[in-house]
Structure 1
């Protein structure tokens, strides 16, 4: 039976790997070799990576690919994408090329406001609490002046503080609902620092507020934290063209447009389909968010919450036919940053942002939304024409061959062999062993 380890965080990286390998692996030597194989030879760069998180033992690599030919608001981009899934980058690039010949993508930022909350318990008279809030509000702002000074100089800062009564949902529960403008920073540290100061000022001030009873003075702050749900930090992107321009090898343009719109409508009304539909959208969004050093988990949580804002989980995209015109659009919340965090530390993040022309946060919001829309177009286009597997498995072919330890000559042979065939795992494996038997 394994025993807990004491003082693990104080061990060196080598000692951590040594303990881990002996405690959890049948072949400790092999495990150590693999862990160390992914260390960077540049000690300074490796140390930088080691300090991103805690208890680092090695690096876990994801491929960084690029999708060129994205025409967004009449500006051409090559978009970096960090992702492990086959066919995503190729699909994005194919969609980008398709729409670059039809006017490209149009995108706009609707709003950039972010949210944070102080959650607290108050047992007393609601009217007295409201009076206290109006009394303490100026001090909430003055006590955070030093925190918001630099942000305000750049045009951002604290927008609004509201008292919200949530007692109809949870007994004695109230919140300070606060909005912020953080410009090119994602702003999590700034927002959380402000919220914690709001909480301290609010709680301490209650002890001296004479209109409160002794019980009312004992405000209990439960937590102070930003929200990753940012419905007022939104971006919209769209593509459109004449239906006759939707030239497809597999069906007439009108039939393609009709099937495409119907497929998106199904995702709008059917949650089981909507989840997979939106997963495809997030393939594009997450890949760019990750490549640019942003928090894809926060983005995922916020976007999926937005997909449920009307009480049922639904499609993030909308497709329509208006007269002789086909249109596909997306509107999503996105809280992104182009300064601070990994954006100024990770060398590949710096290059990714430079590749995009060192965009502002609003410009990056537009690029990311377009990547999601392009991915959605590519996925639906495949689904309503050839089916998803033909293209996906063609891209997955090399993964299967690598699992089979194919030689370079064998890989070249099978890439050519499956050029006009659907490459399932079974068909590749059977063809592979037949070739080996002949050799």
Structure 2
């Protein structure tokens, strides 16, 4: 049933229960559907209602743990929240193989991010640049009044840059370079940009328009590498196949988009589990990959013994404090399971997870094809969608895979046969 009119006066003023009832009335939800939406799990509806607007329910997602990770000599259990089949299994297996080669070695730079102040209507951008830079200390000092916590710990606004953007006449962009320590940093950077805007207008004679952080963080980057021993991944042919698959991604934007999406499959799952901003991470990674022409975020080579060496370079603006990271109890527990003590350690783990996920995907493509690995897990999802009960799922999935017909309609036919109501005709 399509809603005829989506205008609801005062919708935001209603309680979550009242909103749900209103939506049910407008779109024709059944009482069973309403009851399902009223089951909110561990995140109470009151908590959800405080996090975002117009809440009617919550949506659960599988929360898994990927074992086997060793990063910089330390072991981790990695929580991953994701609905896509095979990601967790592939990541765990890749970490096990990397472990045999010494595990992942990783490094994350200082948590430096850009805040942008756009100034328009500048009489002379060259003069404005000099005048802004001559007041640099004053501007930074003013910015740091936005966070006494950062300032007291030797962090906060550290530097200032002035740019002209080609094609934007009469404009300059002021970049505040901010050390945000263990936070993602958006709120404090936005506040700093607001704080310095009047002074920048005074100095330049222009008018400040935008005052906001940039989600591209080339100064806040994580690196990781690992050795995958050739005898554990299928020998020389597979090693060479992975390298050639990576070369393809380096040279072809269509392949690179899918290649980098696979990297973010792993990284995003950890970010969702810990309630970090995965949307900012996606924008950051893909923008970074596009600098100089869209390319792979990973690299692969072969060492003198024929083993595969994989590495990754990925910008990561993540936090272990602030935002919603402490607002939801399951996310807090997920962070406890992970055991990252600060944002740089978290970035090292995330880079390692991204590399593991990418290696697993390329190995599957180079060895047996990605679909075979997906098939059994996808079949289980199809069985659930078709209405299989937990005891029936594996049996239905097994039949689907054996027949090579993984569809909801076929799963329903198999269920009917199993329950004694079918003819046994596979059609």
TM-score by length of 1: 0.88
How far residue 280 of structure 1 moved from its aligned partner, in angstroms, is 0.9
- Cα 1:28–1:411 shift into 2, 3 Å: closer
Gapped runs of 5+ residues in structure 2?
Answer: none
Contact 1:321 1:327 in 2 (8 A): yes
Take 1:85 and 1:344, find their aligned partners in 2: how far apart are those partners? 26
In 2 relative to 1, CA 99–155 (structure 1 residues): closer, same or farther, beyond 3 Å?
A: same
Correspondence 1:200 to 2:207: no
Aligned residue for 1:209? none
Q: Secondary structure at the match of 2:148?
A: helix
Q: d(CA) in 1 for partners of 2:71 and 2:403?
A: 35
**CA deviation profile, 1:363-402 (whole Å, cap 9, x unmatched):** 0001111111111111111111121111112112221111
Are residue 286 (structure 1) and residue 268 (structure 2) matched? yes
> Could you tell which deviates more after superposition, 273-282 or 26-35?
26-35
1:211 — aligned with what?
Answer: none
Q: Give the structure 1 partner of residue 120 of structure 2.
A: 121
SS in 1 for 2:325: helix
Compare 180-189 and 416-425 and name the one that shifted more.
416-425
CA contact (8 A) 1:120 1:220 kept: yes
Alignment-derived partner of residue 400 in structure 1: 382
Corresponding residue for residue 83 of structure 2: 84
Matched ranges for 1:90-239 at <5 A: 90-166=89-165, 168-203=166-201, 205-206=202-203, 217=205, 219-239=206-226
Q: Deviations over 1:96-139 (max 9, x none)?
A: 12222221111111443211110011341334323432454333
Report the Cα distance in structure 1 between the residues aligned to 2:310 and 2:94, rounded to whole angstroms.
Answer: 12
Flag the 1:128–1:106 CA change in 2: closer, same or farther, 3 A.
closer
Structure 1 distance, partners of 2:411, 2:370, is: 18
Task: State the SS of the aligned residue for 1:344.
Answer: coil
Residue 266 to residue 30, structure 1, CA distance change in 2 (3 Å): same
CA 1:321–1:412 in structure 2 vs 1: closer, same or farther (change >3 Å)?
closer
CA distance in 1, matches of 2:17, 2:51: 18
CA distance in 2, matches of 1:282, 1:110: 20
Say which of 21, 29, 32 aligns to 2:31.
29
Over 3 Å counting, the alpha-carbon distance change for 1:397 and 1:70 in structure 2 is same
Do the aligned residues in 1 keep the contact of 2:144 with 2:151 (CA within 8 Å)?
Answer: no
Check conservation: 2:163, 2:173, Cα contact below 8 A. Answer: yes
Instruction: Name the SS of the counterpart of 1:162 in structure 2.
Output: strand
* Residue-by-residue CA offset, 1:193-244 (whole Å, 9 max, x unaligned): 00111112222x34xxxxxxxxx73x2111100000001111111111453x
Match of 1:13 among 11, 16, 34: 16
> In the TM superposition, what is the alpha-carbon distance from 1:95 to its structure 2 partner?
1.1
Name which of 291, 313, 327 aligns with 1:345: 327
Measured in 1, the distance between the counterparts of 2:338 and 2:410 equals 40
Q: Give the alignment partner of residue 259 of structure 1, picking from 232, 236, 241.
A: 241
Counterpart secondary structure, 2:167: coil
Deviation at 1:155, TM superposition (A): 2.9
Which is worse superposed, 358-367 or 1-10? Answer: 1-10
- Judge conservation of contact 2:248–2:255 (CA < 8 Å) in 1: yes
Identify the residue that residue 378 of structure 1 maps to in structure 2. Answer: 360
2:40: which partner in 1? 39
- Provide the C-alpha distance between the structure 2 equivalents of 1:176 and 1:94, rounded to a whole number of angstroms: 46
Q: Is the 8 A contact 2:106 2:222 kept in 1?
A: yes
User: In the aligned structure 2, how far is the partner of 1:339 from the partner of 1:97?
Assistant: 30
Q: Give 1:66 deviation, angstroms.
A: 0.5
Question: For 2:403 and 2:52, how far apart are their aligned partners in 1?
Answer: 45
1:61 paired to 2:60: yes
- How far does residue 246 in structure 1 lie from its aligned partner after superposition? 3.5
Q: Could you say if the C-alpha distance between residues 349 and 407 of structure 1 is closer, same or farther in structure 2, counting changes exceeding 3 Å?
A: closer
Q: Deviations over 1:156-198 (max 9, x none)?
A: 11111122233x4212111111111111111111111001111
Q: TM-score, normalised by structure 2?
A: 0.91
Count of equivalent residues: 417
Q: For 1:177, what is the secondary structure of its paired residue?
A: strand
Contact in 2 for aligned 1:122/1:174 (Cα 8 Å): no
Q: Secondary structure at the match of 2:336?
A: helix
Equivalent-residue separation in structure 2 for 1:39 and 1:241 (angstroms): 42
Structure 1 residues 183 and 3 mapped into 2: Cα distance closer, same or farther (>3 Å)? closer
3-state SS, counterpart of residue 290 of structure 2? coil
- 8 Å CA contact 1:22, 1:28 repeated in 2: no
Instruction: Report the CA distance between 1:422 and its aligned residue.
Output: 5.4
Distance 2:272 2:389 in 1: 32
Structure 1, 399-408 or 424-433: larger mean CA deviation: 424-433
Instruction: Check whether the contact 1:67–1:90 (CA below 8 A) recurs between aligned residues.
Output: yes
Structure 1: gaps (5+ residues): 207-215
The residue aligned with 1:271 is 253
